[in-house]
Amino acid sequence: MKPVIALVGRPNVGKSTLFNRLTKSRDAIVADYAGLTRDRHYGHGSQGKHQYIVIDTGGFEPDASSGIYKEMAKQTRQAVAEADVVVFVVDARGGLSAQDHDIAKYLRKLSKPCLLVANKAEGMTQGVQLGEFFELGLGEVVPISAAHGQGIRTLVEMALAPLHLPDEDDDADGKDEDPGVIKLAVAGRPNVGKSTLINTWLGEERLVAFDMPGTTRDAISVPFERNGQRFELVDTAGLRRKGKVFEAIEKFSVVKTLQAIESASVALLLIDATQGVTDQDAHIAGYILESGRAVVIAVNKWDAVDEYQRELVKRSLETRMGFLKFATVHFISAQKRQGLGPLWDSIAQAHRSANCKMPTPVLTRLLLEAVQFQTPKKTGMYRPKLRYAHQGGMNPPIIVIHGNSLEHVTEAYKRFLEGRFRKEFNLVGTPLRIQMKSASNPYADEE
């Protein structure tokens, strides 16, 4: 198994920058802003023949007794418990603080390897300038610069040294991501219950769930298996209206959320029943549609509204979400575990539909039958002639239709064709894109 390295430290010492450097990615949000990371964030890294898992954590306050900082401390303690090696990151330029002493006191009690790393040490010598960190009682201080990549190789070597790893490659750990894994992005406005839903599925407090909008600020990925099917659950930061995005950090979170939706196999759009279907819900749904992702709609907190409010929500779904008629709608309560079973069935069905294979002979037969049933309208002196069709892609499914004068095919006729194709292949929960390709006229250049 891959060794696990947990990065801990007080806020704004560069843990997320170091995480990105160790994983050779940009998965963690980085900005000059204290308290940015809040959940545990996992990533894979390698150096030479050795591979490892890195856990990025939020700013650690061991003695936090209430509020969001207590929840963040709980996440850090769980990351430390999962880790084989703990890397304690301090700020070489900011110097020691009382919080560093509190964290060191907590780490000294652990019976696992701990490495003290002084970040932002570019241009410093390992002498007088770093001498104050020895009073933490954690042994040698390793100077690095995560932003400039200095000392990273030494850091990894020293972190893995106590584990006595074998020199040969572990083929099982070196495999690429399994294509059989369904990547599910849980998206929605802030505070609709995305983290609560994932925690309910997992049966543990894997993500910070706190009664404050915007608790999640990064897209957090969690592996999960159900009935033999493996999933990768992505809890995304809540998307607000542009006018409400005041902090630069929240703008970064929006970008990470949109990226998570684009890279997912299926998007689960979560709506708060107590607030109804808002304009922002429709905007998020529109982005999912533009991205071509398969989608399932879940209305959360259904147990917290009365019959009148339920009827209003259902009507709003019909009017504001009319462009997602192909998506299945479920009414659930993540906190009380109500309605979650059928939700999984719809997610699996949406994934199957998004990756459906449609043979060319079947598509062409359906096309010709549709034309025989209803011919496209004549526009001026042109009447479109649809000759054959084939599949042009999956996730979302794309059907390419060839013929003459197809630029004159109306949107209404395309919707008619889409309905025929959906019915034949039982496409539920996924967008279907139809592309028209007209044959070129060989006599167009002749007079």
Q: Residue 174: what pLDDT? A: 38
395 and 368 in a common domain: yes
Contact 424, 370 (CB under 8 A): no
Look up the CATH number of the domain holding residue 430.
3.30.300.20
Domain annotation covers residue 175: no
Q: What is the pLDDT of residues 84-93, one digit of tens each?
A: 899 999 988 8
228 and 204 in a common domain: yes
Contact 413, 376 (CB under 8 A): yes
236 and 138 in a common domain: no
Q: Residue 367: what pLDDT? A: 93
Domain annotation covers residue 115: yes
Handedness of CA 144, 145, 146, 151 (dihedral sign): negative
247 and 202 in a common domain: yes
Look up the CATH number of the domain holding residue 339.
3.40.50.300
* Domain count for the chain: 3
Q: Residue 307: what pLDDT? A: 92
Q: Residue 77: what pLDDT? A: 81
Q: Residue 239: what pLDDT? A: 46
336 and 268 in a common domain: yes
Which of 180, 182, 171 is closest to 221 using CA atoms? Answer: 182
Exposed/middle/buried for residue 131 (C-beta within 10 Å: 0-12, 13-18, 19+): exposed
Cα(181)–Cα(178) distance, rounded to whole angstroms? 6
Q: Residue 282: what pLDDT? A: 87
270 and 157 in a common domain: no
* Helix pair 248-263, 279-291: axis angle to 10 deg: 50
Domain annotation covers residue 170: no
321 and 389 in a common domain: no
Domain annotation covers residue 447: no
Q: Residue 444: what pLDDT? A: 52
Which residues in the chain land under pLDDT 50?
A: 30-37, 168-177, 205-218, 239-255, 447
Q: Residue 34: what pLDDT? A: 46
13 and 107 in a common domain: yes
426 and 293 in a common domain: no
Cα(322)–Cα(340) distance, rounded to whole angstroms? 24
Residue 381's domain spans which residues? 360-438
Q: Residue 373: what pLDDT? A: 92
Q: Where are the beta strands (DSSP E) in 138-193?
A: 141-143, 182-188
Handedness of CA 305, 308, 309, 311 (dihedral sign): positive
Q: Residue 441: what pLDDT? A: 57
337 and 248 in a common domain: yes
Model pTM score: 0.57
